[in-house]
A and B are shown apart, each in its own frame.
Chain A
Amino acid sequence: MPLDSADLQAITLTLKLASLTTVLLLVVGTPIAWWLTHTRSKLKGVVGAVVALPLVLPPTVIGFYLLVLMGPNGYVGKITQALGIGLLPFTFTGLVVGSVIYSMPFVVQPLQNAFEAIGRRPLEAAATLRAGPWDTFLTVALPLARPGIVTATILGFAHTVGEFGVVLMIGGNIPGRTRVVSVQIFDHVEALEYAQAHWLAGGMVIFSFVVLLLLYSGRRSVTAHV
């Protein structure tokens, strides 16, 4: 086996991080996307821009601010300490927080596109049939938005797997807790262990290709159904 136990540990950790982040993002991102779709508030532009920020900011900027904010002298750090959670940098929880922020647009934007594509008419139709707002959301909007939810899930997961800069800056490279695959590859390259770097890096290429292949071939079949 060309991958050693540290590599496998990094893979497991990465999958755990990406799964948890994706679930959290779907929970947090769906109401945000819904609100962005239907609001007439003046804040719509501001919230949309904040959600999209990680698309354009270098991960070093996000990592730097997270490190400072979550540290003992930062606002977030003071709150987490007061709550008895302790400090978040160098912990798995800290990585989850960083990943949720970093991958947010990759989940919210597909969801928002899907909700916008539904339009108001099916929702109004459901309302005239006396469906309550929750009922309408669960039985009309969510099923219609399914392709968008699938895209959001895949992109959120894949983007978190591919995360590097934020983890590097707040992770502290701890085996089993914060050393994810991308950092492990970086370590191998720095230590001139090119063979191991190749196995992991090649694996990442194949993984990403398969994910995107699923996404794009899935997308065609969805439009074909319509």
Chain B
Amino acid sequence: MTRILRALLCAFVPLAAGIASASALAGEVQVAVAANFTAPVQAIAADFEKDTGNKVVASFGATGQFYAQIKNGAPFEVFLAADDATPAKLDSEGATVPGSRFTYATGALALWSAKDGYVDDKGDVLKKNAFKHIAIANPKAAPYGLAGYQTLDKLGLAAEIKPKVVEGQNISQTQQFVATGNAELGFVALSQIYKNGKVTSGSAWIVPANLHEPIKQDAVILNKGKDNPVAKQFIEYLKGPKAAEVIKSYGYQL
């Protein structure tokens, strides 16, 4: 009996050690990503994996939600936020690696409908106000939602349009309300509906940047990623030319 056990151990220990060392070789980094950056980060992560052999494990959600999770011990090592205020707040609270914060993209806001020709390229559809529902992301949690409300304010339409607003919990859910046709139109991130210089489906108005505060999206390395070289490597990769190309192709400014 003991002999069998010993034989088994001899067989398995090196195997287990081999698996452990293999997983140590291919590093990975846990990244919390603002929902609007879902598509670009998937493309960038694929390139990153190909170029470095290291893996990006991404979670997608609303920036405010991630803040609460990070403050309560979520295992994220890098945070790609949809604004600059949340990473700055984490910075001041000592939850980040000092000096790691930078703006990885400046977002553009779009008024979008799943129907062709519904949204004109000047946004006059808002003034006509002939729709039943307009989807906007929850402004407390999602910066694109805040920008949407700021745009309505700037156009002087807030009072008339507010009763028609349906709120998505994040920018993805907002897009989904519009995509299913339940809301005729909505404010989404341009990156969600834009690829290689074109709106991918339906009709859209790219909201001029002077109608809302700039949507500066900051990235930061969190305390949990302090000792992970892959976290640093990924941030550097995000600053590099290959990532920049991807980011621009989704309609972001750098």
Q: Is the CB of A192 within 8 A of B64?
A: yes
Within 8 A of A (CB), among B144-196: 165-169, 173, 176-177, 180-183
Residues on the B chain within 8 Å of A169, using CB: 173
Cβ of B110 within 8 Å of any chain A Cβ, yes or no, is no
Q: Is the CB of A67 within 8 A of B180?
A: yes
Is the Cβ of A68 less than 8 Å from the Cβ of B167? Answer: no
Q: Determine whether the beta carbon of A168 is less than 8 Å from that of B169.
A: yes
A172 close to chain B: CB less than 8 A: yes
By the criterion of a CB under 8 Å from any partner CB, how many residues of chain B are at the interface?
A: 23
Residues A192 and B138 in contact, CB atoms below 8 Å apart: no
Interface flag for B133 (CB, 8 Å): yes
Q: B65 touching A190 by the CB < 8 A rule?
A: yes
Distance, CA A90 to CA B180, complexed state (A) = 13
Count of chain A residues with a beta carbon within 8 Å of a chain B beta carbon: 21
Most chain B CB inside 10 Å of its own CB: which residue of A70, A169, A173, A190: A190
B102 at interface (Cβ–Cβ under 8 A)? Answer: no
B135 at the interface (CB under 8 A from A): yes
Neighbour of A72 across the interface among B62, B169, B182, CB < 8 A: B182
Evaluate whether A190 and B167 lie within 8 angstroms (CB atoms) in the complex, with A73-B180, A172-B177 already known: no
Chain B residues in 8 Å Cβ range of A172 = 133, 135, 166-168, 177, 183
* Complex CA–CA separation, A174 to B182 (angstroms): 14
Of A67, A71, A168, A191, which one neighbours B141 at CB under 8 angstroms?
Answer: A191
- Consensus secondary structure, chain A interface: loop
Q: Are B182 and A90 in contact, with the CB atoms below 8 A?
A: yes
Give Cα A87 to B135, complex, Å.
15
Q: Judging by beta carbons under 8 Å apart, are A190 and B182 in contact?
A: no
- Among A174, A187, A189, A190, point to the contact of B166 (Cβ < 8 A): A174
With A168-B169, A190-B68, A192-B64 known as contacts, the answer to whether A72 contacts B138 (CB < 8 A) is no
Complex Cα distance, B142 from A187, in Å, reads 11
Known: A90-B133, A172-B167. A190 touches B180 (CB 8 A): no
Q: Which residues of B contact A70 (CB under 8 A)?
A: 182
Q: Are A71 and B182 in contact (CB under 8 A)?
A: yes
The answer to whether B68 touches A189 (Cβ under 8 A) is yes
Residues in A whose Cβ lies below 8 Å from that of B62: 190
Give the CA-CA distance A189 to B140 in the complex, in Å: 10
Chain A 151-197 residues near chain B, CB threshold 8 A: 168-169, 172-174, 186-187, 189-192
Residue of A nearest to B65 (CB): A190
In the complex formed, the residue of A with least CB distance to B63 is A190
Judging by beta carbons under 8 Å apart, are B138 and A187 in contact? Answer: yes
Task: Give the A-binding residues of B (Cβ under 8 A).
Answer: 62, 64-65, 67-68, 132-133, 135, 138, 140-141, 165-169, 173, 176-177, 180-183
Can you name 7 A-B residue pairings with CB atoms under 8 Å?
Answer: A68-B180, A90-B166, A172-B183, A173-B138, A190-B64, A190-B169, A191-B64
Which residues from chain A sit less than 8 Å from chain B, CB to CB? 67-68, 70-73, 86-87, 89-90, 168-169, 172-174, 186-187, 189-192
